[in-house]
């Protein structure tokens, strides 16, 4: 949904509460944000349309979605507990480590099997995010995948 749709994000920023990390992690965050802004479907329930800006922050181990119009007018703030994501993110990082190790020393079929597992865990996290935002913000699965990638990168220490 890139382009001129009114139910999309035009900008995503990370609050200083997220903290900064290594150059590699900062690069991954920038790529995740770019991918999300480049193509997304984002509809705050009950709002007539944007485009929207999204500011993500962490407060007391909760993920805060601050949604506004491009002119800065607040639309909604949603606070999500990160508890439902902890196991999925931990599993995702473990399988990513296995994947990167496999690239160096495993057969193509072993790499493919690990990658399928990695995608499965990523899909589970994306679905969990969609479920947690249900009734608050309508997003399609591809947007959920990009948002979940960003949530993971927020936890990656490099």
Q: How many domains does the chain have?
A: 1
Kindly state whether residue 21 falls inside one of the protein's structural domains: yes
Enter the tokens of residue 8.
């999309």
Kindly state whether residue 138 falls inside one of the protein's structural domains: yes
pLDDT of the residue at 154: 75
At 75, give phi and psi (nearest 5°).
-110, -50
Kindly state whether residue 64 falls inside one of the protein's structural domains: yes
Enter the tokens of residue 104.
């160096």
Report the relative pairing of strands 52-59 and 9-14 from DSSP bridges: parallel
Kindly state whether residue 89 falls inside one of the protein's structural domains: yes
Q: Could you report the per-residue pLDDT of 119-158, keeping only the tens digit for each?
A: 999 999 999 999 999 999 999 999 999 999 888 877 765 4
pTM: 0.84
Kindly state whether residue 2 falls inside one of the protein's structural domains: no
Angle at CA of residue 42, ends 38 and 69, nearest 5°: 90
Q: What is the DSSP letter of 111?
A: H
């Amino acid at each position: 949904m890139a382009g001129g749709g009114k139910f999309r994000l035009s900008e995503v920023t990370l609050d200083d509460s997220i903290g900064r990390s290594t150059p590699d992690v900062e690069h991954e965050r920038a790529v995740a944000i770019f991918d999300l802004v480049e193509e997304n479907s984002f509809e705050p329930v009950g709002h007539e349309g944007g485009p929207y800006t999204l500011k993500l922050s962490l407060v007391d181990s909760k993920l805060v979605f601050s949604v506004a119009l491009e002119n800065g007018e607040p639309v909604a703030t949603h606070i999500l507990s990160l508890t439902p994501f902890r196991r999925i993110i931990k599993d995702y990082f473990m399988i990513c480590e296995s994947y990167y190790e496999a690239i160096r020393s495993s057969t193509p079929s072993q790499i493919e099997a690990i990658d399928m597992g990695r995608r499965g865990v990523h899909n589970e996290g994306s679905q969990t995010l969609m479920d947690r935002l249900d009734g608050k913000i309508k997003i399609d699965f591809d947007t959920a995948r990009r948002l979940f990638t960003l949530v993971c990168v927020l936890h990656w220490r490099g």
